[in-house]
């Protein structure tokens, strides 16, 4: 699980990389679920929420830099 405070310390490029990495991880988990290899289905929910958290902070940082 990714903490919001850790994400807020990253810059925009770092957050974009984090979102990409989380999306790759989520895709892998979805494929494992489809092939019935995934035992912990709760990890799908956690990664989905981590992606949302990172995207929210990324949008906030972009909006903040646009107003400056």
Q: What's this model's pTM, rounded to 2 decimal places?
A: 0.90
Query: What are the tens digits of pLDDT across the range 11-64?
Result: 999 999 999 999 999 999 999 999 999 999 999 999 999 999 999 999 999 999
SS3 41: coil
Q: Is residue 46 part of a domain?
A: yes
Q: How many domains does the chain have?
A: 1
| Domain span at 58 | 4-62
Q: Is residue 11 part of a domain?
A: yes
* pLDDT above 90 (res 65): no
> What CA–CA distances, in Å, run from 23 to 2, 26, 38, 53?
13, 5, 17, 12
Q: What is the CATH number of the domain that holds 29?
A: 1.10.287
Q: Is residue 68 part of a domain?
A: no
Could you tell me if 57 and 14 are in contact, meaning their C-beta atoms sit under 8 angstroms apart?
no
């Amino acid at each position: 699980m990714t903490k919001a405070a850790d994400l807020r310390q990253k810059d925009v490029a770092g957050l974009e990389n984090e979102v990409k990495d989380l999306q790759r991880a989520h895709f892998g988990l979805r494929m494992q679920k489809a092939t019935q290899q995934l035992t912990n289905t709760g990890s799908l929910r956690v990664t989905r929420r981590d992606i949302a958290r990172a995207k929210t902070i990324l949008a906030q940082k972009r909006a903040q830099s646009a107003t400056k």
